[in-house]
């Protein structure tokens, strides 16, 4: 009995306990070394830029998701909102509306859905998992049927070439998507760690009731979290659309939303809430990006890639459980 | 003598006027009267056609609506059904396999006369299609077939398309082209018939050409973003790539933009195939896609209706006949991209 408990006590009391993101960075470094030795063309600056470029959309989505997960929530509608709001912006571009107005209209739609999610969760007290699962399906259905004329694929019109700069341009040799990711990550990091609202989000995730008792307006705060998540998701959508000059709204059927949760949880933003940071998202995204890049270069089939991705997620949850064991506090709040 | 001649003349005149009168009255009756009907042969044909088609129901189950291919098929099939006095039913499973099986299962109970189905993968609906044919419903499979061959298949001969495209790649990138011969294949969904047969067709050709090296062979699940990421990575490892063989035009847009971003347009040829909607031609003109095999979606819709007319008039029971209508393929390049595509009218 005692021998079973000892490792946990060790983990809890050790002064040198590594954080999950440090562990993930370490694993990433091991993979990087492994690929650099065994893979031709991996250890080049160009390839690292491509690697970062390929994961920037996932990373941006991850930053948005991290904000709600830190607050002990979850937004399963993020990809759906991203798809329909960018598609709506594109339909306006195709109808001859000016670029700025079209982008603003798409943004408006994303913000409305974010507000709605926050309202459902904060005021109607629906569980985040179900509220956002349902709202994602609902919004996609409504927008597709009534606003997008039933179509699924939307193209950037020929006369909006300058919009493609957001996805295909470079600044000082660095692709714009990486810069957008860096900027979003930096601003979100500053918001979460340096502003009182950011700290409130941690307090909300750690213990919503305690946060409420200390005078934090938890309900409006929840709305802010989901609106921010939708806003950042929309930015990711713009970068994604500008990269390939179209949006295929069937992306909501893909595993993108789970990949997003994967990079967030993997890096150490615990689903228990109140833990982790934007650095965790960067760690998780870096590991997944390295894996994807390496596996693409090794020409693995999708099936094998999925097996490896699934294994990595299982390992992450295992580590999460070891580092943040279920205790009285989480037992009271219930699991997500 | 003169009187006789005169009498004869008068007599003839009366006869001629009489005949003319009869003819005139006859023609008038012919033109204006109700009793005129279709010539016998024509009537026989028409009655056979009308009896077998009018009032019959055609149900269409695509993988999902909202993409140019299925929208074009549905529009053509519906328009022709309306003209022929047939009923058109659309069941859109939204790319959900569960919904697709449910759609076919409930159609087996509803018993339309013909089911037109596009299979997401080769296994999913095979048994249900067989069951539907046993229940007396003709099943026409369009473009994406299943393991079961039903009354008719309308669509691309994927194996042949794979061979055609591979042979073209061998010409543009193989011996004597001055290129590296490195080819990246971006597959769609590995379980769909378009994917499986096309890949086999292409590989059968590449096998005979040792100068062609397939440096990457991955699936992007019909997703342009995934295709973009894969292509960008492969291009960094092989900047001397000769060609990218993409299994679908819209997915190829992702690869094409990765090539453009890498500044390798015109050096790396982007190959693709698809139904030929207007956006594709615009992208061929701008060089995002270089060589595109068009299987013309509206014409495929027309072929579906041809198959519908044939099976319904055949007098044979479902399962007793097997009709294959392969779609003609047309190569679109920058030079002929101007007028080669179609556009559906706005909704």
What is the DSSP secondary structure assignment for residue A76, as one 8-state letter? T
What Rg value do the Cα atoms of chain A yield, rounded? 20
Q: Which of A106-110, B47-51, B176-180, B224-228 has the lowest mean pLDDT?
A: B176-180
Q: Which of A25-39, A59-73, A303-317 has the lowest mean pLDDT?
A: A303-317
Domain ranges of chain A: 19-324
Can you tell me the mean pLDDT for A248-267? 88
B297-324, pLDDT tens digit by residue? 999 999 999 999 999 999 999 989 999 9
Q: Quick one: what percent of chain A has pLDDT higher than 90?
A: 56
Q: Quick one: what percent of chain B has pLDDT higher than 70?
A: 90
- Record: contact B229-A296, CB cut-off 8 A: yes
* Closest chain B residue by Cα to residue A298: B216
> What CATH number belongs to A19-324?
1.10.3470
CA–CA separation, A326 and A288 (whole Å): 27
- Record: contact B215-A299, CB cut-off 8 A: yes
CA–CA separation, A134 and A111 (whole Å): 17
pLDDT at residue B110, as a whole number: 95
pLDDT at residue B141, as a whole number: 96
Distances B196 to A14, A315, B129, B193, B219 between C-alpha atoms, Å: 55, 34, 20, 5, 11
CB contact A19 to B (< 8 Å): no
Q: Three-state DSSP class for A72? A: coil
- Record: contact A244-B257, CB cut-off 8 A: yes
* Closest chain B residue by Cα to residue A153: B67
pLDDT at residue A270, as a whole number: 84
Interface pTM, i.e. ipTM: 0.80
* DSSP character string of A229-293: HHHHHHHHHHHHHHHHTEEEGGGGGSSHHHHHHHHHHHTT--TTSS---HHHHHHHHHHHHHHHH
**Contact between residue B184 and residue B227 where contact means Cβ atoms under 8 Å apart:** no
A23 Cβ contact list (under 8 Å, min separation 6): A319
Say if residue A109's pLDDT is above 50: yes
Domains and CATH numbers, chain B: 46-155+298-328 (3.40.50.2300), 158-294 (3.40.50.2300)
pLDDT at residue B13, as a whole number: 60
Chain A residues with CB under 8 Å of B260 CB are 168
B43's tokens = 């009537």
- Record: contact B237-A297, CB cut-off 8 A: yes
Can you tell me the mean pLDDT for A69-98? 94
B92-113, pLDDT tens digit by residue? 998 889 999 999 999 999 999 9
Distances A9 to A1, A13, A272, B113, B272 between C-alpha atoms, Å: 13, 6, 20, 71, 59
Backbone angles phi, psi at B117, to 5 degrees: -130, 140
CA–CA separation, A307 and A290 (whole Å): 16
A221-239, pLDDT tens digit by residue? 999 999 999 999 999 999 9
pLDDT at residue A3, as a whole number: 41
Q: Three-state DSSP class for B139? A: strand
Say if residue B232's pLDDT is above 70: yes
Cα B1 versus chain centre, distance:
81
Could you say which of B95, B229, B253 has the minimum Cβ distance to residue A246? B253
Q: Three-state DSSP class for B274? A: strand
Chain A residues with CB under 8 Å of B218 CB are 296, 299-302
- Record: contact B224-A244, CB cut-off 8 A: yes
B21's tokens = 């009168």
**Contact between residue B138 and residue B113 where contact means Cβ atoms under 8 Å apart:** yes
Say if residue B291's pLDDT is above 50: yes
Could you say which of B95, B238, B250 has the minimum Cβ distance to residue A153? B250
Q: Three-state DSSP class for B186? A: strand
CB contact B29 to A (< 8 Å): no
Can you tell me the mean pLDDT for B179-188? 94
Strands (E), A76-159: 153-155
B262–chain A nearest CA distance, Å: 9
Say if residue B29's pLDDT is above 80: no
Say if residue B335's pLDDT is above 90: yes
Mutate to test the interface with B, among A244, A293, A296, A309 (most CBs of B within 10 A): A244
Q: Is residue B180 very low, low, confident or very high in pLDDT (cuts 50, 70, 90)?
A: very high
Backbone angles phi, psi at B271, to 5 degrees: -105, 140
Say which residue the tokens 């063309």 belong to.
A41
Say if residue B30's pLDDT is above 60: no
- Record: contact A296-B67, CB cut-off 8 A: no
Can you tell me the mean pLDDT for A178-204? 96
A86-102, pLDDT tens digit by residue? 999 999 999 989 999 99
pLDDT at residue A18, as a whole number: 74
CA–CA separation, B23 and B18 (whole Å): 9
A121-142, pLDDT tens digit by residue? 999 999 999 999 999 999 999 9
Q: Is residue A9 very low, low, confident or very high in pLDDT (cuts 50, 70, 90)?
A: very low
């Amino acid at each position: 009995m005692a021998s079973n408990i000892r490792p946990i006590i060790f983990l809890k009391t050790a002064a040198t306990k590594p954080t999950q993101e440090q562990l993930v960075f370490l694993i990433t470094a091991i993979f990087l070394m492994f690929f650099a030795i065994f893979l031709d063309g991996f250890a080049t600056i160009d390839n690292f830029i491509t690697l970062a470029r390929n994961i920037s959309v996932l990373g941006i989505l991850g930053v948005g998701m991290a904000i709600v997960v830190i607050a002990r929530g979850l937004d399963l509608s993020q990809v759906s909102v991203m798809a329909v709001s960018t598609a709506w912006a594109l339909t306006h571009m195709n109808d001859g509306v000016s670029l700025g107005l079209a982008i603003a209209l798409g943004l408006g739609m994303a913000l409305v859905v974010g507000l709605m999610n926050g309202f459902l969760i904060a005021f109607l007290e629906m569980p985040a998992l179900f509220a956002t699962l349902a709202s994602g399906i609902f919004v996609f259905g409504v927008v597709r049927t009534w606003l997008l004329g039933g179509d699924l694929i939307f193209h950037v019109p020929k006369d909006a070439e300058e919009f493609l700069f957001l996805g295909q341009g470079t600044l000082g040799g660095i692709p714009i998507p990486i810069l957008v990711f860096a900027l979003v990550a930096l601003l979100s990091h500053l918001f979460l760690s340096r502003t009182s609202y950011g700290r409130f989000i941690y307090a909300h995730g750690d213990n919503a009731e305690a946060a409420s008792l200390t005078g934090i307006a938890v309900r409006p705060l929840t709305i802010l979290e989901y609106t921010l998540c939708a806003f950042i998701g929309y930015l990711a959508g713009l970068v994604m659309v500008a990269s390939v000059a179209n949006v295929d709204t069937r992306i909501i059927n893909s595993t993108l939303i789970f990949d997003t949760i994967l990079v967030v949880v993997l890096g150490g933003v615990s689903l228990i809430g109140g833990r982790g940071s934007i650095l965790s998202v960067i760690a998780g995204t870096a590991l997944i990006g390295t894996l994807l890049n390496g596996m693409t270069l090794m020409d693995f089939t999708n099936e094998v890639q999925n097996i490896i991705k699934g294994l990595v997620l299982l390992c992450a949850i295992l580590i999460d459980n070891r580092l943040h064991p279920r205790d009285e506090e989480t037992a009271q709040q219930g699991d997500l | 003598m003169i009187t006789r001649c005169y009498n004869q003349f008068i007599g003839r005149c009366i006869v001629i006027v009489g005949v003319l009168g009869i003819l005139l009255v006859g023609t008038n009756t012919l033109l204006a009267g109700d009793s005129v009907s279709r010539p016998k042969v024509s009537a026989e044909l028409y009655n056979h056609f009308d009896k077998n088609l009018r009032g019959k129901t055609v149900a269409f189950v695509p993988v999902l609506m909202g993409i140019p291919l299925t929208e074009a098929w549905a529009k053509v099939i519906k328009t022709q059904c309306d003209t022929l006095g047939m009923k058109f039913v659309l069941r859109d499973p939204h790319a959900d396999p569960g919904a697709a099986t449910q759609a076919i299962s409930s159609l087996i109970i509803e018993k339309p006369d013909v089911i037109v189905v596009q299979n997401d993968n080769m296994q999913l609906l095979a048994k249900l299609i067989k069951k539907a044919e046993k229940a007396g419903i003709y099943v026409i499979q369009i473009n994406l077939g299943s393991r079961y061959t039903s009354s008719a298949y309308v669509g691309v001969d994927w194996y042949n398309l794979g061979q055609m495209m591979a042979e073209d790649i061998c010409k543009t990138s193989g011996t004597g082209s001055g290129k590296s011969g490195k080819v990246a294949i971006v597959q769609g969904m590995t379980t769909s018939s378009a994917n499986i047969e096309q890949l086999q067709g292409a590989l059968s050709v590449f096998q005979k050409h040792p100068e062609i090296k397939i440096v990457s062979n991955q699936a992007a699940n019909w997703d342009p973003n995934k295709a973009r990421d894969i292509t960008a990575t492969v291009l960094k490892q092989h900047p001397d790539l000769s060609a990218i063989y993409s299994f679908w035009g819209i997915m190829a847009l992702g690869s094409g933009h990765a090539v453009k971003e890498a500044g390798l347009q015109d050096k790396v040829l982007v190959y693709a195939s698809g139904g030929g909607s207007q956006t594709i031609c615009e992208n061929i003109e701008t060089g995002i896609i270089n060589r595109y095999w068009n299987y013309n979606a509206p014409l495929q819709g027309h072929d579906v209706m041809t198959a519908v007319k044939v099976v319904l008039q055949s007098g044979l029971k479902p399962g007793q006949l097997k009709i294959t209508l392969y779609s003609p393929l047309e190569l679109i390049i920058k030079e002929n991209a101007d007028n080669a595509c179609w556009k559906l009218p706005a909704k």
